[in-house]
Amino acid sequence: MHHNGDEMMMTLKHEQIQQLEKNFLNFSKNPDELQIILIASECGLSVEETEKWFKWRNAYWRKAEGLPAEAGSVLD
C-alpha cells in the first residue's frame, strides 16, 4: 500500500515533525520497537503513525541518496 508523504506531513504538527526529524537525523533512521514507542510518546503520536512516518522518511532519504526506496539486503 502506498502512502502519500505530503498527506501524512499535513496531518502532523510542525513540532511533531521537528521531533521526528531530530530522532531520524540524530539517533536512528531505523528505530527498533521500543524506540518507536518512546518517540511516539514524545511526539504525541500513535505507534502506527510513528512507524509510517519513519517508513516514509526512510524511503525519501534513500531516494535522495540515489538508492532504491525500499531497503534491501546487500545480498539481494
48-to-40, 52, 67 alpha-carbon distances in Å: 9, 6, 25
User: How many C-beta atoms surround the C-beta of residue 40 within 10 A?
Assistant: 19
Q: Which residue has the higher pLDDT, 31 or 74?
A: 31
Considering only CA atoms, which of 61, 46, 57 is closest in space to residue 3? 57
24 lies in a domain? yes
Structural domain tally of the chain? 1
**In which band, very low, low, confident or very high, does the pLDDT at 67 lie, cut at 50, 70 and 90?**
confident
What is the per-residue pLDDT across 4-54, written as a single tens digit (0 to 9) for each?
Answer: 566 666 689 999 999 999 999 999 999 999 999 999 999 999 999 999 999
Q: What is the CATH number of the domain that holds 56?
A: 1.10.10.60
The residue segments making up the domain with residue 56 are 15-63
Position 34 in a domain = yes
Q: Is there a domain that residue 6 lies in? A: no
pLDDT of 48-61, one tens digit each? 999 999 999 999 99
User: To which residue does cell 528505530 refer?
Assistant: 31
pTM: 0.78
